[in-house]
Chains A and B, each alone.
Chain A
Amino acid sequence: MEILMSILAGLLFTAGIYLLLQRQLLKIIFGTALLSHGAHLLILTMGKLNRGDPPILTEGIDQYTDPLPQALILTSIVISFGVTSFLLVLAYRAYKTNKTDNLEQLRGSDND
Chain B
Amino acid sequence: MTNLIILPILLPLIAGTLFVFWRKRLPFVRTGAQIVSIMNLLLTTFIMYKVIQDGTIILETGGWIAPYGIILVGDLLSVSLLVATNIIAVAAAFYAPYTLDQGREEHYFYTFFLMLIAGVSGAFLTGDIFNLFVFFEVLLMASYGMIVLGGTRQQLRESIKYVLLNLFSSILFVTTVSFLYSVTGTVNMAQLSERVGQVNQDGILTTIAILFFVVFATKGALFPLYFWMPHAYAKPPAVISALFGALLTKVGIYSILRVFTLIFNGNVDYTHTFFIILAGFTLIFGVVGAMSTNNIKLIIAYNIIPAIGFMIMGVGIFTEGSLAGSVYYLLHDMIIKGALFMLVGAVAIVAGTSDLRKISGLIKQYPLLGWLFFIATLTLAGLPPFSGFIGKLLLLKGAFENGHYVIGAVGLITSLLILVSVMRIFLNGFWGESMTLPTKTRSIRPLYFPITFLLIFSVVLGIGAEWFLPHIQQIGVDLMDPSIYVDTILKE
What is the interface of chain A, defined by CB distance below 8 A to chain B? 20, 25, 28, 32, 35-36, 38-40, 42-43, 45-47, 68-69, 72, 75-76, 79-80, 82-83, 86-87, 90-91, 93-94, 97-98, 103, 106-108, 110-112
Which residues of B have CB within 8 Å of A108?
154, 157-158, 231
Complex interface residues of chain B between 165 and 205 (CB less than 8 A to chain A): 167-168, 170-171, 174-175, 177-179, 181-182, 187
Which residues of A have CB within 8 Å of B144?
83, 86, 90
CB of B163 within 8 A of CB of A90, answer yes
Task: Work out how many contacts link A and B, with CB atoms closer than 8 A.
Answer: 103
- Identify which of B151, B179, B181, B295 contacts A97 (C-beta below 8 A): B151
B9 → chain A closest CB, angstroms: 16
Chain B contact residue count (CB 8 A cutoff): 37
Q: Quick one: CB contact mask for B297-308 with A, threshold 8 Å, 1 for yes?
A: 010000000000
A48 → chain B closest CB, angstroms: 8
CB of A106 within 8 A of CB of B171, answer no
**Would A46 and B181 be within 8 Å (CB), given that A32-B168, A35-B171 are in contact?**
yes
CB of A111 within 8 A of CB of B156, answer no
The CA of A94 and the CA of B178, in the complex, are separated in Å by 34
Q: Can you give 14 A-B contacts (C-beta < 8 A)?
A: A20-B168, A46-B179, A46-B182, A68-B181, A68-B187, A72-B177, A79-B170, A83-B163, A86-B163, A87-B163, A90-B160, A97-B151, A108-B231, A111-B294
Which residues of A have CB within 8 Å of B106?
none
Which residues of A have CB within 8 Å of B158?
108
- Identify which of B161, B164, B177 contacts A32 (C-beta below 8 A): B164
CB of B178 within 8 A of CB of A46, answer yes
Complex interface residues of chain B between 109 and 147 (CB less than 8 A to chain A): 130, 133-134, 137, 141, 144
What is the interface of chain B, defined by CB distance below 8 A to chain A? 130, 133-134, 137, 141, 144, 148, 151-154, 156-161, 163-164, 167-168, 170-171, 174-175, 177-179, 181-182, 187, 231, 293-295, 298, 355
CB of A39 within 8 A of CB of B171, answer yes
Which residues of A have CB within 8 Å of B170?
79, 83
**Would A98 and B157 be within 8 Å (CB), given that A28-B164, A32-B164 are in contact?**
yes
Closest to B136 in A: A79
A58 → chain B closest CB, angstroms: 16
The CA of A76 and the CA of B179, in the complex, are separated in Å by 15
Closest to A84 in B: B167
A95 → chain B closest CB, angstroms: 9
CB of B141 within 8 A of CB of A76, answer no
- Which of A28, A45, A79 is the most central at the interface, judged by chain B CB atoms within 10 Å of its CB? A79
